[in-house]
Amino acid sequence: MLNVPIVELLKLWGELVEAYHGVNGYGGCTAELYAYRFCRANPMRTLLGDTAEKAKRKDAVQARESLFELVRTFENAYECRVTIDGEDSFRWFQLAGDTFDHRVHAVVERPATPRCESE
């Protein structure tokens, strides 16, 4: 999570809190999270020898790791379950590899409440 700018991190956390309470603007208990929000801009990558494709891959890996860490921290803090694109967060993390370069839908399920209707 250290790679996420603090203001962006607070906004992302807020979107998960909204989803936890079923009032997220995207879809009640579903938050739509974009990969670019989980990366710090680093224009030096290409100047330091990375090709555009390699820099994009590094950003995707960074975004994947940051999203996973955010979700795991949120799950522990709120004692809830978050699925990412229909997968348990651990499974999503394993499957995503370096392909998280667009967006995901994170569904927050509270304990002792029925599944979200927006799925």
| Local mean pLDDT, 10-residue blocks, the chain (119 residues) | 86 98 96 92 68 83 94 96 96 90 95 65
Q: Quick check: is 114 in a domain?
A: no
- What does the alpha-carbon distance between residue 14 and residue 16 come to, in Å, rounded to a whole number? 5
Q: Quick check: is 117 in a domain?
A: no
Q: Quick check: is 42 in a domain?
A: yes
Q: Are 20 and 108 in contact (CB under 8 A)?
A: yes
Q: Are 81 and 75 in contact (CB under 8 A)?
A: yes
List, in order, residues 6 or more apart from 84 with CB less than 8 Å away.
67, 71, 92, 104, 105, 106
Task: Give pLDDT, residue 102.
Answer: 93
Residues spanned by the domain of 70: 6-109
Q: Quick check: is 77 in a domain?
A: yes
Q: Quick check: is 118 in a domain?
A: no
List, in order, residues 6 or more apart from 65 with CB less than 8 Å away.
3
Q: Quick check: is 55 in a domain?
A: yes
Q: Quick check: is 115 in a domain?
A: no
State the total domains in the chain: 1
Give φ, ψ of 45 to 5 degrees.
Answer: -55, -50
> For the purposes of burial, counting CB atoms within 10 Å of the CB of 118, is it exposed (0-12), middle (13-18) or buried (19 or more)?
middle
- What does the alpha-carbon distance between residue 100 and residue 87 come to, in Å, rounded to a whole number? 14
Q: Quick check: is 67 in a domain?
A: yes
